Amino acid sequence: RSLAMQEAIVLYPSPQIGHLISMVEFCKLILTHQPSLKIHILNPPPPYGADSTAPYISAVSATVPSITFHQLPTINLSISSSRHHESLVFETLRLNNPNVQNALISISKNYNIISFIIDFFSTPAFDVATALNIPVYYFNTSGAGCLAFTLYFPTIHKKTTKSFKDLDIHLDIPGIPPTPSSDMPKPLLERDDELYKFMLDFATILPKSAGIIVNTFEALEPRPLKAVRDGQCVPDSPTAPIQCIGPLIATSDRSSDGSTGNSIPECLTWLDSQPSKSVVFLCFGSLGLFTVEQLKEIAIGLERSGQRFLWVVRNPPAENQSVAIKALSDPDLNLLLPEGFLDRTKQRGLVVKSWAPQIAVLNHDSVGGFVTHCGWNSILESVCAGVPMVAWPLYAEQRLNRVLLVEEIKIALPMVESENGFVNSAEVEKRVRELMELEQGKSIREQTTAMKHAAMAALSEGGSSHVTLDQLIESWKHK
Ligand code: UDP
């Protein structure tokens, strides 16, 4: 490639707004270190055709001119209800390979592509870029604990012929506490599942990449990081270098929650009137949904706990409707919550429909605890705000994250469900109380504060994440 050409990096995130936002935040951070870089983002079509990323993309294009988006064409899939959402995402991205190839070739006519950054779902593009002689990096959207598991997964696979769901043992994974096999990421519980195979392919390719960029920081997860770097997770071949550049979280803007334009969301003005550190915030990611029965049980538990609360409530899951569409429609609180609940708790509680500006909420002085579904972004946002958590995992790798938060990092209390996954009101009441007023809450509060300071130190000049990113950018130039 010609030396005279401007250097560029190309990113290819999954078609999920959360992944796209993380990658864009990463790009903004890269630009603060290296303003002369050009950044191209290949935006894959969403698997169902609905394009929820368009407003976000136009906002970024308008404010960050160094970033150019390339919209990849829509792929028409035959959607069978028996297939996971994740399988459809994989399929969409696999069928997009020729378009990725064209985009890379076309960009390289004008730019010297010094790195191509993909995530879990864009794995099918690994070979495309490698064939064009472009170094491929992974952007790991979960933490180092989950990475240790992922890298070790092919080894576990070889050791047994059973599915995780039938194993009924604690797995010994290097660098993380013994973890029940039933806590493995949900799509992996069945060995015959199509996603199990995808994950195995991904886990085999990942260590062969040019580098694994992880949204975490050294002080948060020292043990899994050491295990990975010592080669304990991939015993028989080398593992790509691990670069911790986090915590990378979206910038919070108090004046906007993305849906109400420029007015200050009601929940933030409500928080203004609450005492310092007195409110527990309950919010379950972009896809967390509960049955009506479970919502009622949470309400009873919250009411009995006597604590102040801010709770994001969504419609329950419905058959034959896509999760994303259902979650967006406004819930009827009178139907979903116990009779009189809103009235009885109106002095000390607020229920928000569907979506709250989570980062702004967590950073509000009145918030003292967070009941979370353990999505990695939510965890980092809570750490950066210094808010201790109750871990209530729902999907993806969140049960593994609960083990890490409770037993390894010690910044959360567990929400303990029954065999069938149901959490009763007594458990909700107990955990919320422990978090907000009892001794158990105190020690995790102190540890969370320590991690908040460590996060700030990692990101500041001379800090581990800051230095790592400088070195990473420097290494691209010499590839
Ligand atoms: N989020 C939010 N308001 C909500 C629900 C979620 O702002 O009501 C944001 C949250 O701050 C986080 C992201 O959505 O940045 C969710 O990402 P996470 O990794 O925690 O979970 P996922 O949705 O990917 O399961």
Instruction: Give pLDDT tens digits for 103-124.
Output: 999 999 999 999 999 999 999 9
Asked if residue 377 has its Cβ within 6 Å of ligand 1, the reply is yes
Ligand 1 centre distance from Cα of residue 380 (Å):
11
What number is the average pLDDT over the span 290-306?
97
Query: Rounded to whole angstroms, how far apart are CA atoms 46 and 79?
Result: 13
SS3 49: coil
DSSP 66: T
- Which pLDDT value is given to residue 54? 87
Long-range own/partner contacts, residues 87-92 (CB < 8 A, 24 or more apart): 87/194, 87/195, 87/198, 88/47, 88/48, 89/14, 89/15, 89/16, 89/47, 89/121, 90/121, 90/123, 90/124, 90/195, 90/198, 91/47, 92/15, 92/44, 92/45, 92/46, 92/47
pLDDT digits (tens, 9 = 90+) for 34-49: 999 999 999 988 776 5
- Give the mutation target among 286, 352, 395 for probing the ligand 1 site: most ligand atoms within 8 A of CB: 286
ipTM of the complex: 0.99
DSSP 149: H
* C-alpha closest to that of 407 among 171, 140, 164, 179: 179
DSSP 258: S
Strands in 242-244's sheet, in edge-to-edge order, are: 67-71, 38-43, 6-12, 111-118, 136-140, 211-214, 242-244
Is the pLDDT at 292 greater than 90, yes or no?
yes
Q: Are 389 and 405 in contact (CB under 8 A)?
A: yes
Residue nearest to atom 22 of ligand 1 (CA): 285
Q: How far is CA 387 from CA 71, 129, 435, in A?
A: 38, 41, 10
Q: For residue 15, how far is the Cα from the chain centroid?
A: 14
The type of residue at 343 is: D
- Which pLDDT value is given to residue 258? 46
Is the pLDDT at 320 greater than 70, yes or no?
no
* Percent of the chain at pLDDT exceeding 90: 79
Ligand 1 centre distance from Cα of residue 72 (Å):
25
